[in-house]
Amino acid sequence: MAERRDPERQGVEGQGAGRRGRRRFDPAGPVTGLFFLVLAALFLADGLSDERVLAPATLAPVVLIGLGLVGTVRVLTRSRRRELR
């Protein structure tokens, strides 16, 4: 089956047919990873120390706000991850 050529997915003009251009940076992955690493560090520090690092009344809103921020970044950058065929 022959593949259709999509002009937007090809490289810059003059680079030859069929070559893909550079992919754009998608910040959703690093933002999500950083959020979960920070969250894991908070829970680890809380478990290893004798005192509370953050009170549960403070930790719950921080987690919910962080999840909202991560979700917002992922929705706003969805077009960068989409690969239509």
Domain that holds residue 71: 28-81
Domain contains 33: yes
In whole numbers, what is the pLDDT of the chain averaged over residues? 77
Domain contains 71: yes
Residue 7 has pLDDT above 60, yes or no: no
Q: Please report how many Cα atoms fall inside a 13 Å half-sphere around the Cα of residue 8, on the Cβ side.
A: 5
Domain contains 3: no
Domain total of the chain: 1
Domain contains 53: yes
pLDDT band at 2, cuts 50/70/90? low
Write down the pTM of the prediction: 0.59
Residue 38 has pLDDT above 70, yes or no: yes
Domain contains 12: no
Mean pLDDT of 17-23: 61
Domain contains 23: no
